[in-house]
């Protein structure tokens, strides 16, 4: 038996928005530790890794590890039927062929349930090596989304350069160039507005705008985004999910041939 | 190599 109840059901809706353009289908792995998902995007270029720890759920029971393959267009239809203030409960039997979603309104006067057929996905599991990054930047997620959107008007790739002073985003295209520099913030009242840089050595790497823009669909999950960069290894773009989880996107840099 | 190839070489199949 698997059962997971999340009072703040809107988090699940936001997670869905953060992955549905990148993935057509995905396997959700459930264990006593929580719910995990790991998948390459549809074009097999970027990797999405989602983790929601069991401690973040109001109720979490998972008697046997199970994998639930879901069509994300179908899952999206179901989650759209939940209000932002609803509590969401997922339920499945051991070795399930369906999963049930129950949505309860705050006052418990409206309860709806939907069941969805699961699909068999033969997805390979990838190991993510532990990596020391040359630069780890934390910045407001809305700012990152805006920069990616603004700069992608001018070219297909954004170069991210990081020094101890701050981070710079650059684009060059047919009509000209664009640069946005963010200095590391000295003192900010709100932690969510801070820009912080932990640097071992400076890096400058170029990434496809198309994927960066996909990653920013996770912006509503968290006020801050963390970018981890090192030469020749994939960039990690991480958004926290409440206090109990995260979604990480991996994308390898482009290299001039 | 392409971005795709570099992703593949970073991640190992478990």
| CA closest to B8 among chain A residues | A45
- Looking at chain A, the whole-number percentage of residues with pLDDT higher than 70 is 100
**Residue A257 binned pLDDT confidence (cut-offs 50, 70, 90):** low
Interface list for A 32-51 with B (CB within 8 A): 40, 44-47
Min Cα separation A69/chain B (Å): 18
Closest listed residue to residue A207, CA positions, set A146, A139, A255: A255
Q: How confident is the model at residue A13 (pLDDT cuts 50, 70, 90)?
A: very high
Q: What are phi and psi of A149, to 5 degrees?
A: -65, -45
Q: How far apart are CA A98 and CA A118, in angstroms?
A: 5
Q: What is the mean pLDDT of chain A?
A: 95
**What confidence score (pLDDT) does residue B1 get?**
67
Name the one residue in this structure whose structure tokens are 């701050």: A166
Predicted confidence (pLDDT) per residue in A85-102, tens digit: 999 999 999 889 999 999
pLDDT at site A87: 98
Confidence label for A7 from pLDDT (cuts 50, 70 and 90):
very high
ipTM of the complex: 0.90
| Residue A74: pLDDT band with limits 50, 70, 90 | very high
The 10 Å Cβ neighbour count of residue A33 is 15
Convert A111-148 to b/e letters by CB count within 10 Å (16 or more is b): eeebebebeeeebeebebeeeebbbbbbbbbbbbbebb
Please determine, for residue B14, whether its predicted confidence score (pLDDT) is greater than 80. Answer: no
**Distance between B3 CA and the closest CA of chain A, angstroms:** 5
Measured between CB atoms, does A12 come within 8 Å of chain B? no
Q: Are A211 and A218 in contact (CB under 8 A)?
A: no
Residue A123 pLDDT exceeds 80:
no
Chain B residues within 8 A of A158 when measuring between CB atoms: none
Residue A101 exposed, middle or buried by CB count within 10 Å (0-12, 13-18, 19+): buried
- Inter-residue contact A41 to A26 (CB < 8 Å): no
Condensed to tens digits (0 to 9), the pLDDT of residues A201-210 reads: 999 999 999 9
Q: Find the CB nearest A126 among B4, B6, B11.
A: B11
Q: Is A26 exposed, middle or buried (0-12, 13-18, 19+ CB in 10 A)?
A: buried
Give yes or no for residue A237 having a pLDDT over 70: yes
CA A189/CA A113 separation, integer angstroms: 43
A234 interaction partners in chain B (CB closer than 8 Å): 6-7, 10
Q: Do B10 and A234 touch (CB under 8 A)?
A: yes
pLDDT value at position B13?
Answer: 77
Radius of gyration of chain A (CA): 20
What pLDDT does residue A190 have? Answer: 87
Cβ contact B13–A233 (<8 Å): no
pLDDT at A186: 82
Least confident of A6-10, A79-83, A95-99, A185-189: A185-189
Cβ partners under 8 Å of residue A61, min gap 6: A1, A2, A3, A4
Q: How far is it, in rounded angstroms, from Cα A156 to Cα A56?
A: 38
């Amino acid at each position: 038996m698997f059962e997971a109840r999340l009072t703040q059901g809107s988090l699940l809706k936001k997670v869905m928005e953060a992955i549905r353009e990148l993935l057509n289908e995905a396997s959700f792995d459930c264990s006593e530790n929580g719910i995990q998902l790991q998948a390459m995007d549809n074009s097999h270029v970027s990797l999405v890794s989602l983790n929601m720890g069991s401690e973040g759920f109001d109720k979490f029971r998972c008697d046997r590890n199970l994998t639930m393959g879901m069509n994300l267009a179908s899952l999206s239809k179901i989650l759209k039927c939940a209000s932002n203030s609803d509590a969401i409960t997922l339920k499945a039997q051991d070795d399930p062929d369906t999963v049930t979603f129950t949505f309860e309104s705050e006052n418990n006067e409206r309860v709806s349930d939907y069941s969805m057929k699961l699909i068999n996905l033969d997805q390979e599991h990838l190991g993510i090596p532990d990596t020391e990054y040359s630069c780890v930047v934390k910045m407001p997620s809305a700012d990152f989304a805006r920069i990616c959107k603004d700069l992608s008007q001018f070219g297909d790739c954004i170069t991210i350069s990081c020094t101890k002073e701050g981070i710079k985003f650059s684009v060059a295209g047919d009509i000209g160039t664009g640069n946005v520099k963010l200095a590391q913030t000295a003192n900010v009242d709100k932690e969510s507005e801070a820009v912080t840089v932990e640097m071992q050595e400076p890096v400058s790497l170029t990434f496809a705008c198309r994927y960066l823009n996909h990653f920013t669909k996770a912006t509503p999950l968290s006020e801050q985004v963390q970018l981890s960069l090192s030469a020749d290894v994939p960039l990690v773009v991480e958004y926290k999910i409440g206090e109990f989880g995260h979604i990480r996107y991996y994308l390898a840099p482009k290299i001039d041939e | 190599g392409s971005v795709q190839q570099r992703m593949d070489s970073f991640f190992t199949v478990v």
